Every structure is written in structure tokens, then in C-alpha cells.
Structure 1
């Protein structure tokens, strides 16, 4: 058994547009945009979606939205989603990027939220 939950909503913006995108989304959603010093390709949109990390991410690809799903067993969650029809696109460190049916990206990442949040909100899978 393993557990997982939706952890983050990422607004992917091409690198040259990331500052404008962060300014737009922070104004549109009425929240502050804060650079993440430890991860300079992210700009946090603090409390934009309560309960989820919401951020603008600089990418060298097309603009899009994607979800991060955190799991206490990345391999098992990846296998579960692949069995549901996703295909694995890439791996980076412990993270897996998948393409869901319909073409949307979803990343499976190790648990990043506080333990009490993960325990309270994660679903358990066989």
C-alpha cells in the first residue's frame, strides 16, 4: 500500500515570459508572488489555491498547467497512474513526469508537505 495526494498546481511559463506570467497570475488571483530562493525557477503564488502549493514555473517548453502528486512511494504511484493510462515521459532525481490521457502532464514527487498534512489528506492505494 502507498499514499498520495495532489500537492501543487504549477503554471508553466516559457523562461522569457516567466516574470510577466508571475505578475499576471498574482494580480489576477489577488495574491503575492514570491521568488523561491532555493528553487529559482519557481515563483510562489502564496495561498492562490488554499491547500495546494501554487506557483509559476520557468520551463523551456510550451506554456501549460500541470499537477504535482506527492507520494510516500513514487514508484508505486507512477505504476498506478501508468496502469490507468498515463505514459512516463521523463525522470528527474526522484520525480517522474507522466502524460495523462488527453495530453496533460502530471509529476509524481516525494512527499514535500508537512507530515501532518500528508497524513490527514493523502489517499491510500492498494
Structure 2
């Protein structure tokens, strides 16, 4: 058995528009921006969506949204989602990048939230 939960929603934005997108979403959602010092491609929108990390991600591609799913077993969660119809299209560090039916991206990553939050909110899968 393993556990997983939606951890984050990312607003993927072309690199040359990321600053403007961060300013827009910050004002639109009333959420202050906070650059991620160790990962400069991310700008967090603190408190934008309660219970979820929300961030602008600078990408070298077309704009889109994607979800991050955190799990205590990367292999099992990736296999579960592939069994539901997703296709693995890449990997970045430990993160598994999946394209799900409908064309959206989902990233499966190790647990990022604090253990109490993960324990309280994660679903258990066989």
C-alpha cells in the first residue's frame, strides 16, 4: 500500500512572460510572490489556494497548468496512474512527468509537505 495527495498546482508560463504572469496572479489572487532561492524557475504565490502550493513555473514551452502529486512510493503511484491511462513522458530529478487522458501534465514527486499534513490528507491506495 502507498499514499498520495495533490500537493501543488503550477502555472507554467513561457520564460519571457514569467515575471508578468507572477505579478498578474499575485494581484488577481491576493497572494504575495516569493521566489524559490534554490529553484529560480519557480515563484511561489503564498496562500493563493489554501492547502495547496501554488506557483508560477518558468518553462521553455507553451503556457499550461499542471498538478504535482506527492507520494510515499514513486514507483507505485506512477504505476497506478499509468494503469489509469497516463503515459510517462519524462523525468526531472526524482519527479516523474506524466501526460494524462485529456493531455494535461501531472508530476509525481516524493513527499514535499510536512509529515503531519501528508498523513492527514493523503489517500491510501492498495
TM-score by length of structure 1 reads 0.99
Deviation at 1:92, TM superposition (A): 1.5
Deviation at 1:120, TM superposition (A): 0.5
Distance 1:21 1:29 in 2: 12
Are 1:112 and 2:112 matched, yes or no? yes
Report how many aligned residue pairs link the two structures.
126
Deviation at 1:104, TM superposition (A): 0.4
What is the match of residue 14 of structure 1?
A: 14
* RMSD, aligned α-carbons: 0.5
Deviations 1:14-45 (A, max 9, x none): 11100000000001111111111111110000
What is the match of residue 100 of structure 1?
A: 100
TM-score by length of structure 2 reads 0.99
| Ranges in structure 1 where 5+ consecutive residues have no aligned partner | none
Q: Secondary structure at the match of 1:48?
A: coil
- Structure 1 window deviating more from structure 2 (43-52 vs 30-39): it is 30-39
1:66-105 → structure 2 map (5 Å cutoff): 66-105=66-105
Q: Secondary structure at the match of 2:18?
A: helix
Distance 2:75 2:36 in 1: 27
List 4+ stretches of structure 1 deviating above 2 A: none
